[in-house]
A and B are shown apart, each in its own frame.
Chain A
Amino acid sequence: MSDIAIKVENLSKAYQLGDFGTGTLSRDIERWWALIRGKEDPFLQVGEVNDRTSKGESDIVWSLKDINFDIKAGDAVGIIGRNGAGKSTLLKVLSRVTAPTTGNIKVKGRIASLLEVGTGFHPELTGAENIYLNGAIMGMSKREIKRKFDEIVDFAGVERYVDTPVKRYSSGMYVRLAFAVAAHLESEILIVDEVLAVGDAEFQKKCIGKMNDVSKGEGRTVLFVSHNLASIATLCNRSLVLNNGNVAFNGPITQGIDFYVNANNNNNSFAFRNDKPKSTDILAIRVLNLKNEPSLNHYYTDDVILEFDVQVEKDYRNAVLSIILKDQTERRVFASDFKLNLITSQSGKTTLRAIIPGNLLVPNRYIPIVAMHVPNKEVISYFDNQVMFEIEETGSKFAQFTGLDYGCVIVDCKWDEV
């Protein structure tokens, strides 16, 4: 079992930012000229890291930068990373949709990639015709598909509709059929990108089950990308954490998830310091985890601590510190406040804590709006978009619905039969 299925060596992938137009033509000519003279590409030398939050100098960006890793045959590897960390690029290069800029990948066995289900489905064709077409697009031979046809139809549960054009399918049926074809690919390596975010819960369970069979039962290698850490944890035994185009961690899945959740981003988005405080003001805002460490990422089950350094003059003892929590779609989730006349500190400087209970906020990114004000009279200071934190999907009750909008908070209501 020590066979290596995928070996990635010094893999890099560069993308050009911006629009293509007359402006880029001159550079293309320059590039081409360099190539003719046998020189290196003048625009690929600037080694910039893909950090989309800071504006770089060149418009070449490295989505993947010199990454190296091996994947053993039979492993189920979860690929974890923030948006823009290079996950999708890695999958695209692995599934040969686009070529790497430098480096190479060696593969043992056939790769089937599921970057999207139903690729190439034609709405006018019937379910049966689409099974053949889609299967062939993914590399199956006609004979192979014929052999698995009944199994596919059965798995998708669309027996009655096989001879109906797929444009008349419900979206659920469509996805089920598409996944069914993909799931029956006979390949040694299966690459899956968050396709499980679709379909109803029952079908999702079926998909996870099928993927489990594939990786554990049949011993095939699976690469799985998802933001849903809970489903990665159940499915995978190893993890690969990407950060800004680099491999940040490569190891067992539980450690990988810990690493990812605890990896503090260096952009300090979890801490804010007020540079020019007034005599009564908020001095600093921090987001802490249960271990009192400043942290951007938090387990769903853990409390999130918002900490505030404040100073209050005597005249302002009637002031109030308020927070309104909003999610990344600017939807406001809840409000909370603290009356500053309750401060016992003599100097007027103190630290306050607001603890947001765990098992409450739906996994998402949250931004607290923080204000110090005298109600109905004066707003002393107001901070929006200064700090944020993220709740990771580490096993909430609604983990299977990742991707659907089921609200901002999960509340354990008291359920009773009357």
Chain B
Amino acid sequence: MGDPTSTDSYKDSSANDVHIQKWDLEIKPQSSVFDLHLKDVWAYRDLLWLLVRRDFVSFYKQTIFGPLWFFIQPIFTTLIFTFIFSNLAKISTNSAPAPLFYMAGTVAWNYFADSLTKTSTVFKDNAPIFGKVYFPRLIMPISIVFSNLVKFGVQFILFIIMMAYYLFLGNKVEPNLYILLFPVVITLMAILGLGVGLIITAATTKYRDLAFVVTFGIQLLMYATPVIYPLSAAPVKYRTIIALNPMSGLIETFRYGFLGTGQFYPGAFIYSVVASILIFLIGLIVFNKVEKNFVDTV
């Protein structure tokens, strides 16, 4: 098959060319800790949108109500919470209408919790794809966060409708300037959920023990976050401990901006900003360190 002359010159010519060749890609055992391949991620942005689209479309395929199903979960959660925590346990909602208070809490909390739980299994869930083809691994968890953002968006519309209804009825709902922090709060929730998720998924490629903690841990964490109660309702000596959870400042700020009940805690908010960004960065670094070889151990 091979042309004999080209075969003979094969070795020689290669030796001469090595020094002048420019390489497009170098595959090495380990790269620097801070090399996060963000350029690579950008190059694959089309994939990101297609994955988000896939998640969204496949969610309601073969259903009659389609995306309306996104409403069902928060509506029922709100109903149950209103009944148990407001009617039975009589926990304060800072004079805001109870259903609206819980709706705000669950919608925001679910966004964070779903982003976290789904990203925390990203290596395990996608091992078949990751084991067959290369693309920047980070695309997967990011797409999860965006998919959840779409879901959050739909649920948020429900929340706005409900808020308009209570405003119309003349209940005590007072949106204020802090509403402008909403995009910041949502971004922080996203990177916090993503950051924790990345750390967990990286930590569970070899030993899966931590994965068991996530499922019930996230449920317990909700009670350590002012979702079903306002921070002001907690005893003073516990407030600092609750505020140590970065989600606390975010949920409180989110609810304060829209409902205007309770108060804004600048300290807790700034702490949340710093903690979220820090956790996110740690998550990125850990994830990047593990992604190169996780296929061998997952």
Contacts and interface: CB of A to CB of B under 8 A. Distances in A.
A98 B2 contact: no
Given A129-B57, A138-B133, A93 B27 contact: yes
Given A20-B207, A252-B7, A116 B24 contact: no
A3 B21 contact: yes
B24 A20 contact: no
A7 B134 contact: no
**Interface residue SS majority, chain A:** mixed
Interface residues of A, number: 60
A251 B135 contact: no
A15 interface: yes
Interface stretch (A100-108, A152-160, A322-330, A369-377): A100-108
Contact of A115 (B17, B133, B293): B133
Interface stretch (A233-241, A259-267, A282-290, A346-354): A233-241
B39 to A, nearest CB: 14
Contact of B295 (A1, A70, A97): A97
A109 B135 CA distance: 16
Interface stretch (A120-128, A220-228, A391-399, A409-417): A120-128
A20 B206 contact: yes
Interface stretch (B42-50, B65-73, B276-284): B42-50
Interface stretch (B8-16, B92-100, B220-228): B8-16
B145 to A, nearest CB: 18
A115 B208 CA distance: 27
Contacts of A106: 21, 23, 25-27
Contact of B2 (A141, A142, A252): A252
Interface stretch (B76-84, B102-110, B124-132): B124-132
B133 A113 contact: yes
Given A3-B17, A136-B50, A99 B28 contact: yes
B135 A107 contact: no
B176 interface: no
A235 B182 CA distance: 59
Interface string B49-69: 111011001100110000000
Contacts of B3: 237
A15 B61 CA distance: 41
Interface in A247-298: 251-254
A296 B136 CA distance: 43
A205 to B, nearest CB: 19
A20 B297 contact: yes
B132 A115 contact: yes
B296 interface: yes
Contacts of B54: 122, 125, 129, 133
Contacts of A20: 206-207, 297
B29 A103 contact: yes
Contact of B13 (A2, A100, A115): A2
Interface residues of B, number: 49
Contact of A137 (B7, B23, B30, B47): B47
Contact of B29 (A1, A102, A119): A102
B33 interface: no
A92 B297 CA distance: 14
Contacts of A108: 21-24
A96 B130 CA distance: 10
Contact of B9 (A2, A109, A113): A2
B133 A97 contact: yes
A325 to B, nearest CB: 33
A36 interface: no
Contacts, number: 143
A28 B205 CA distance: 14
B50 A139 contact: no
B14 A142 contact: no
B239 interface: no
A52 interface: no
B22 A119 contact: no
B55 to A, nearest CB: 9
B292 interface: yes
A25 interface: yes
A96 B134 contact: yes
A2 B131 CA distance: 33
Given A4-B21, A92-B295, A133-B50, A104 B27 contact: yes
Contact of A99 (B9, B25, B29, B131): B29
A136 B46 contact: yes
A368 B24 CA distance: 52
A314 interface: no
Contacts of A116: 132-133
Given A99-B292, A122-B54, A72 B10 contact: yes
B25 A97 contact: no
B18 interface: yes
Interface in B159-188: none
A159 to B, nearest CB: 22
A229 interface: no
Nearest to B57: A125
Contacts of A136: 44, 46-47, 50
A98 B1 contact: no
Interface of A: 1-4, 7, 15-16, 20, 24-25, 28, 70, 72, 92-111, 113, 115-116, 119-120, 122, 124-125, 129, 132-133, 136-142, 165, 233, 236-238, 251-254
Given A108-B24, A137-B135, 20 more contacts: A3-B17, A7-B23, A20-B206, A94-B27, A97-B132, A98-B296, A99-B30, A100-B29, A102-B29, A105-B26, A106-B25, A113-B133, A113-B134, A116-B133, A119-B133, A120-B129, A125-B61, A133-B51, A141-B46, A254-B1
For the complex of A and B, 6 pairs with smallest distance between CB atoms: A252-B2, A96-B134, A99-B292, A2-B13, A136-B47, A105-B27
24 contacts: A4-B18, A16-B297, A72-B14, A96-B134, A97-B130, A97-B134, A99-B29, A99-B30, A103-B29, A104-B26, A105-B27, A115-B133, A116-B133, A120-B133, A124-B57, A124-B61, A125-B54, A132-B50, A133-B51, A133-B54, A136-B50, A139-B135, A141-B46, A142-B49
